[in-house]
A and B are shown apart, each in its own frame.
Chain A
Amino acid sequence: MITLTIDGREIGAQEGWTVLKAAQNVGIEIPTLCHHEALSASGACRLCSVEVTTKRGRNRVVASCLYPVEEGLNVQTNSEKIKRLRKGLMELLLARCPSSEKIRDMARHMGITEPRFRLEGEECILCGLCVRVCQEISEARAISAVNRGTKKEIAAPFYDLAETCIGCGGCAYVCPTGAIRIEDNKIRLGDKIFKELSPEEVKKVEEKLEAKERVPEKG
C-alpha cells in the first residue's frame, strides 16, 4: 500500500498503479483524451498532465496516465501551471479539429473558443486508441500510425483496405472524436476505407455501440 497526496488529499494506492488510476479510484477527475481503461497508456495527448513533487523534492510536470505512484508523492492536478498547459493543448487541438464536438466541448470547458492559429479541417487527433484496440483487443493489427510528424496519420497498409481487419468496430467505438465511424456499411476514417461490412455485420456492430458495451473482449 502506497500513500500519496493528490490536491491536498492523502490517499492510498497499490504498487504499480499510475497516478491517474489512483486519482480516478477516489473520484478525483483528471481530463484525458488518449486514455482508455481497457488499453495500454500512451501519453500522447498530454491532457492528463499533473504537477508532481517527489519525496526528495524533485518537481516536474508528468503524464499521470504513465507516472507510477510513489510513497510520499505530492500531486497537483489543477495548479496554475497545469491549467495553463491544458488550455494551451486544447487551443492547439481545437485549431486542428475545429468541427469536432468533443474537442469544442472540452475546449469551451477550459475557456477556449477561438484558437489563435489558422484552422485546419482534421477530425482525427492521433490519439492512437484505434491502433491500440486493434493491437491489444482484437489483435488484428490491421491499422497503424503511418508517416511521421505533421504528416502522421492512421492508415491501413498501402492505404488499401485493412486486410487483417475482422470488422469488430472497436476502433469506431473508442474514437473520441468520431473520426473513425461506420458509414454506408464501411468502417472508415475520412477518405480511408478500412473495411466494407455486410448489412448484418453493420447491424451487429451498431447494436454493440448503442448498448455502449465495453470494448470488445479479447479474442
Chain B
Amino acid sequence: MEIDTSKVDEVIDSFSGDLSQLIGILQDIQANFNYLPREALVRVSERLEIPISQVFGVATFFKAFSLKPRGRHQINVCLGTACHVRGGARILGKLERDLKVEAGGTTEDFRFTLESVRCLGCCSLGPVVVIDNDTYGRLNQERVTKLLDQYE
C-alpha cells in the first residue's frame, strides 16, 4: 500500500531524528495516518539507522500503537483501580455488547475503536470514559450508550 513518506520524513525532522524520541515519532506518524503503516516503519528504520526488527519490536511492544487502521473515534474506558471499584468493567462490558467488538477491536464500519486504559487520573469522577479528547465521568451503563450518538 502506497503512503506519502514525505509525511514520515516531516515527523522525523520535527524531532531532529532523535532516537530517544522514537516513541514520540511513532505517535505523530500514527496521528497522521491513523495507524502505523509498514512503509512508515521501514522509513523510520532507514532514517534513524536502526534495524527494522527493532522498530517492529517497539511498535508492537507499546500499547499506544496500532499496526491496523483504527476507527474514526477512539473510545478509552478507564479500568483504573478507582474506576474498577465503581463499576468500570461493567461499562466496558456494555460497550463491547453494544458495539459488538472486544476491547482492542474496531467496529466493522470503522466508526469506533474500543480500548481500555488504566488510570486517566480522574478518579473522583469514576467510572470514566474518554472519547477522542472528551472526558465523561460519573457514568453508568445506560448513560454511556447515549454518549456514542454524537460521534459519527
Contact = CB atoms under 8 A, between A and B. Distances in A.
Query: A–B direct touch, CB within 8 Å, in complex?
Result: yes
A162 B53 CA distance: 9
B57 A163 contact: no
Interface stretch (A24-32, A141-149, A171-179): A141-149
B54 A144 contact: yes
Contact of A141 (B38, B41, B54, B60): B54
B24 interface: no
Interface residues on A, range: 10 to 19
Interface residues of A: mostly helix, strand, loop or mixed?
loop
Nearest to B50: A141
Contacts of B56: 144, 146, 157-158
B48 interface: no
A164 B61 contact: no
B57 A141 contact: no
Contacts of A162: 53
Contact of A147 (B52, B55, B60): B60
Nearest to B41: A157
A200 B53 CA distance: 27
B51 interface: yes
Contact of B61 (A143, A148, A157, A163): A148
A146 B60 contact: yes
A156 interface: yes
Interface in B42-88: 51-57, 60-61
A141 B61 contact: no
Contacts of A145: 57
Contacts of A144: 51, 53-54, 56-57
Most chain A beta carbons < 10 A, residue from B38, B54, B61:
B61
Nearest to B56: A157
A158 B57 CA distance: 10
Contacts of B53: 141-144, 156-157, 162, 164
Contacts of B51: 141, 144, 164
A145 B57 CA distance: 6
B105 to A, nearest CB: 15
Interface in A109-163: 141-148, 156-158, 162-163
Given A146-B60, A147-B60, A158 B54 contact: no
A141 B51 CA distance: 7
A147 B61 contact: yes
Contacts of A142: 53
A144 B51 CA distance: 10
A112 B100 CA distance: 44
Interface in A57-110: none
Contacts of A146: 56-57, 60-61
B56 to A, nearest CB: 4
A219 B28 CA distance: 37
